[in-house]
Protein backbone atom coordinates (compact mmCIF):
# COMPACT_ATOMS: atom_id res chain seq x y z
CA UNK A 1 0.00 0.00 0.00
CA UNK A 2 1.29 3.42 -0.81
CA UNK A 3 0.13 6.35 1.22
CA UNK A 4 0.17 9.75 -0.48
CA UNK A 5 1.89 8.30 -3.50
CA UNK A 6 5.04 7.24 -1.66
CA UNK A 7 6.46 3.95 -2.81
CA UNK A 8 4.82 4.07 -6.22
CA UNK A 9 6.93 3.33 -9.22
CA UNK A 10 7.60 6.31 -11.42
CA UNK A 11 5.78 5.75 -14.67
CA UNK A 12 7.05 7.39 -17.81
CA UNK A 13 4.60 9.77 -19.42
CA UNK A 14 3.84 9.18 -23.09
CA UNK A 15 5.15 11.59 -25.68
CA UNK A 16 1.63 12.63 -26.66
CA UNK A 17 0.36 16.06 -25.59
CA UNK A 18 -2.89 14.58 -24.30
CA UNK A 19 -0.92 12.36 -21.86
CA UNK A 20 -2.74 9.30 -23.21
CA UNK A 21 -1.26 6.40 -25.10
CA UNK A 22 -0.01 7.54 -28.46
CA UNK A 23 -2.23 5.15 -30.45
CA UNK A 24 -5.41 5.69 -28.39
CA UNK A 25 -6.79 8.34 -30.71
CA UNK A 26 -6.39 6.11 -33.76
CA UNK A 27 -8.06 3.16 -32.01
CA UNK A 28 -10.93 5.35 -30.80
CA UNK A 29 -11.38 6.76 -34.30
CA UNK A 30 -11.51 3.26 -35.79
CA UNK A 31 -14.06 2.13 -33.19
CA UNK A 32 -16.18 5.22 -33.83
CA UNK A 33 -16.09 4.65 -37.59
CA UNK A 34 -17.28 1.06 -37.23
CA UNK A 35 -19.88 2.02 -34.64
CA UNK A 36 -21.22 4.58 -37.11
CA UNK A 37 -21.39 1.91 -39.81
CA UNK A 38 -23.33 -0.30 -37.41
CA UNK A 39 -20.93 -3.25 -37.16
CA UNK A 40 -20.83 -4.10 -33.47
CA UNK A 41 -20.42 -7.86 -33.20
CA UNK A 42 -19.46 -10.83 -35.32
CA UNK A 43 -19.78 -14.43 -34.15
CA UNK A 44 -18.93 -17.79 -35.64
CA UNK A 45 -21.18 -20.56 -34.35
CA UNK A 46 -19.93 -24.13 -34.53
CA UNK A 47 -19.19 -27.41 -32.88
CA UNK A 48 -15.43 -26.97 -32.81
CA UNK A 49 -14.75 -28.86 -36.04
CA UNK A 50 -12.15 -27.97 -38.66
CA UNK A 51 -14.68 -26.22 -40.91
CA UNK A 52 -15.92 -24.03 -38.07
CA UNK A 53 -12.39 -23.11 -37.08
CA UNK A 54 -11.52 -22.31 -40.71
CA UNK A 55 -14.48 -19.92 -40.94
CA UNK A 56 -13.35 -18.25 -37.70
CA UNK A 57 -9.82 -17.72 -39.04
CA UNK A 58 -11.12 -16.41 -42.38
CA UNK A 59 -13.60 -14.09 -40.66
CA UNK A 60 -10.88 -12.63 -38.45
CA UNK A 61 -8.69 -12.08 -41.52
CA UNK A 62 -11.55 -10.24 -43.23
CA UNK A 63 -12.20 -8.09 -40.15
CA UNK A 64 -8.51 -7.25 -39.95
CA UNK A 65 -8.45 -6.30 -43.64
CA UNK A 66 -11.45 -4.03 -43.04
CA UNK A 67 -9.65 -2.41 -40.06
CA UNK A 68 -12.35 -3.52 -37.63
CA UNK A 69 -11.03 -3.03 -34.07
CA UNK A 70 -12.32 -6.38 -32.74
CA UNK A 71 -12.19 -10.07 -33.60
CA UNK A 72 -15.02 -12.50 -34.18
CA UNK A 73 -16.30 -14.43 -31.18
CA UNK A 74 -16.27 -18.22 -31.44
CA UNK A 75 -19.34 -19.88 -29.88
CA UNK A 76 -19.23 -23.66 -29.45
CA UNK A 77 -21.96 -24.10 -26.85
CA UNK A 78 -24.61 -26.03 -28.77
CA UNK A 79 -27.44 -24.65 -26.61
CA UNK A 80 -26.43 -21.13 -27.64
CA UNK A 81 -26.06 -22.22 -31.28
CA UNK A 82 -29.56 -23.72 -31.19
CA UNK A 83 -30.95 -20.53 -29.64
CA UNK A 84 -30.02 -18.73 -32.88
CA UNK A 85 -32.09 -21.27 -34.85
CA UNK A 86 -29.02 -22.64 -36.61
CA UNK A 87 -29.44 -26.18 -37.91
CA UNK A 88 -26.12 -26.57 -39.74
CA UNK A 89 -22.71 -25.27 -38.76
CA UNK A 90 -20.58 -23.31 -39.25
CA UNK A 91 -22.81 -20.25 -39.05
CA UNK A 92 -21.90 -16.58 -39.25
CA UNK A 93 -23.78 -14.08 -37.07
CA UNK A 94 -23.44 -10.34 -37.64
CA UNK A 95 -25.01 -7.97 -35.10
CA UNK A 96 -27.02 -10.88 -33.64
CA UNK A 97 -28.50 -11.81 -37.04
CA UNK A 98 -27.63 -15.12 -38.73
CA UNK A 99 -26.28 -14.31 -42.20
CA UNK A 100 -24.86 -17.69 -43.20
CA UNK A 101 -25.29 -21.36 -42.28
CA UNK A 102 -23.41 -24.45 -43.38
CA UNK A 103 -20.85 -22.74 -45.60
CA UNK A 104 -17.15 -22.05 -45.12
CA UNK A 105 -16.34 -18.69 -46.68
CA UNK A 106 -12.87 -17.52 -47.62
CA UNK A 107 -11.62 -14.25 -46.12
CA UNK A 108 -12.43 -12.41 -49.36
CA UNK A 109 -15.96 -13.86 -49.39
CA UNK A 110 -16.56 -12.82 -45.77
CA UNK A 111 -15.37 -9.30 -46.56
CA UNK A 112 -17.61 -9.19 -49.64
CA UNK A 113 -20.58 -10.41 -47.57
CA UNK A 114 -20.02 -7.78 -44.90
CA UNK A 115 -19.80 -5.05 -47.55
CA UNK A 116 -22.99 -6.38 -49.17
CA UNK A 117 -24.70 -6.13 -45.78
CA UNK A 118 -23.65 -2.49 -45.60
CA UNK A 119 -20.71 -2.65 -43.22
* Domains of the chain, start order: 39-116 (3.40.30.10)
Q: Is the pLDDT of residue 2 over 80?
A: no
Q: What is the pLDDT of residue 77?
A: 96
Asked whether the whole model's pTM tops 0.75, one would answer no
State how far the Cα of 114 lies from the Cα of 11, in Å rounded to an integer. Answer: 42
Confidence of residue 88 (pLDDT cuts 50, 70, 90): very high
With beta carbons less than 8 A apart as the criterion, state whether 50 and 13 touch. Answer: no
What are the tens digits of pLDDT across the range 24-83? Answer: 445 455 555 545 468 999 999 999 999 999 999 999 999 999 999 999 999 999 999 999
Tell me the β-bridge partners of 75: 45
Amino acid sequence: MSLFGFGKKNEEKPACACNGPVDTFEADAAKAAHAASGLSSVKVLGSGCKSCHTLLVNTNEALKAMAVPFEAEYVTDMAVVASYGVMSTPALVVNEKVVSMGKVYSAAEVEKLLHKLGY
